[in-house]
Structure 1
Amino acid sequence: MVPVGKVSPFNIKCELLLQLDNDDVFRQTNETDFDGITAKAESNIASLFQTKKTPFVAVGAIDFGTTYSGCAFSTVQEFKTNPLKIDTLQLDITNASSFKTPTALLLTPEGRFHSFGATAENEYVTLAQKEEANSWYYFNRFKMQLYTNKELTSNMVIKEVGGKTMKAMLVFAFCIEYIKDKVLSTLKNAIYGLDDNDVHWVITVPAIWNDQARKFMIEASAKAGIEKENLTLALEPECAAMYCRYLAMDKKEHGDNVEIKAFDENAKFMVVDLGGGTIDITMAEVLSTGQLREIYNATGGPWGGNYINDQIIKTLKDVIGWELIRNFQADDYDDYLLMLRQVEQIKRGLDHNSELTVSIPEKILQNIKVKDSCVQYVQVKKKYITLSASLMQKIFSTSVDSMIKHVENLLQKKEACSVSTILLVGGYSASNIIQRAFREKFDKKYKIIIPLTPDMIVLKGAVIAGHRVEAIVGRMAKYHYGLGFSAAAVSGRSISIGDHDNKTFFSIIKKGQKIIVGEVVTQYEIVLKAKSTWANLEMYTTKDDNPRTIIDMEHFTKIGNISVKLPQFKRESILILTISYDETEFKVVATDKNTGRCFVGTCEFLEKESNQNEY
Structure 2
Amino acid sequence: MSQKNERRDKNVHDILVVVGIDFGTSYSGFAYCHTASANQEVCTNTEWSGYHGRFKTNTVLQYDDDFEKVTEWGKLAFAKKVERKNMDKDEPKSVGLFKLYLGSFGKLDDDLKPKIPVDYKKAIADYLREMGKLIKTKISEHWPDVNFYENVLLIISVPADYSKKELAIMRECSLEAELIRKENIEYLQFTTEPEAAAIYCMKKCLNEHSLASTGTTFMIVDCGGGTVDLTTRKLVGEDQLSEVTERIGDYCGSSFIDEAFLKHLGSI
| Same structural fold, with TM-score higher than 0.5 when normalized by the shorter chain | yes
Kindly report which structure 2 residues correspond to 1:94-109, keeping only aligned pairs within 5 A, or say none: 94-109=50-65
Q: Does 1:221 align with 2:174?
A: yes
Q: CA deviation at 1:135?
A: 5.2
Cα distance in 1 for partners of 2:94, 2:259 equals 19
Q: CA deviation at 1:244?
A: 1.9
Q: 3-state SS of the aligned residue for 2:155?
A: strand
Change (3 A) 1:316 1:137: closer
Cα distance in 2 for partners of 1:72, 1:213 equals 23
Q: 3-state SS of the aligned residue for 1:144?
A: helix
Q: Look up the match of 1:167.
A: 119
Q: CA deviation at 1:176?
A: 1.0
Contact kept, 8 Å, 2:101 with 2:120, in 1: the verdict is: no
Q: Look up the match of 2:217.
A: 268
Q: CA deviation at 1:128?
A: 5.9
Cα distance in 2 for partners of 1:189, 1:121 equals 27
Q: Look up the match of 1:72.
A: 31
Change (3 A) 1:243 1:282: same
Q: 3-state SS of the aligned residue for 1:219?
A: helix
Change (3 A) 1:63 1:92: same
Structure with the higher helix share, 1 or 2: 2
Q: Look up the match of 1:88.
A: 44
**Per-residue deviation, residues 338-367 of structure 1 (Å, max 9, x unmatched):** xxxxxxxxxxxxxxxxxxxxxxxxxxxxxx
Deviates more, 1:114-123 or 1:208-217: 208-217
Q: Look up the match of 1:60.
A: 19
Q: CA deviation at 1:230?
A: 0.8
Change (3 A) 1:316 1:129: closer
Cα distance in 2 for partners of 1:93, 1:115 equals 9
Q: CA deviation at 1:234?
A: 1.5
Q: CA deviation at 1:211?
A: 3.3
Q: CA deviation at 1:126?
A: 4.6
Q: CA deviation at 1:200?
A: 0.8
Question: Normalising by the residue count of structure 2, what TM-score does the alignment of the two structures yield?
Answer: 0.82
Kindly report which structure 2 residues correspond to 1:27-426, keeping only aligned pairs within 5 A, or say none: 53-54=11-12, 55-78=14-37, 81-83=38-40, 85-110=41-66, 111-126=68-83, 131=88, 134=90, 136=92, 138-150=94-106, 159-160=115-116, 164=117, 166-197=118-149, 198-227=151-180, 228-248=185-205, 251=207, 259-261=209-211, 263-319=212-268
Aligned-CA RMSD value: 3.1
Match for 2:34: what amino acid?
T
Q: 3-state SS of the aligned residue for 1:215?
A: helix
Contact kept, 8 Å, 1:52 with 1:229, in 2: the verdict is: no
**Larger RCO, structure (CA 8 Å, separation 6 or more):** 1
**Per-residue deviation, residues 72-112 of structure 1 (Å, max 9, x unmatched):** 1111123xx334x2212135454545221111011223312
Q: Look up the match of 1:483.
A: none
Q: 3-state SS of the aligned residue for 2:266?
A: helix
Cα distance in 1 for partners of 2:115, 2:122 equals 12
**Per-residue deviation, residues 501-551 of structure 1 (Å, max 9, x unmatched):** xxxxxxxxxxxxxxxxxxxxxxxxxxxxxxxxxxxxxxxxxxxxxxxxxxx
- Identity level (%): 25
Cα distance in 1 for partners of 2:264, 2:203 equals 43
Match for 1:194: what amino acid?
V
Contact kept, 8 Å, 1:106 with 1:139, in 2: the verdict is: yes
Question: Normalising by the residue count of structure 1, what TM-score does the alignment of the two structures yield?
Answer: 0.38
Larger radius of gyration: 1
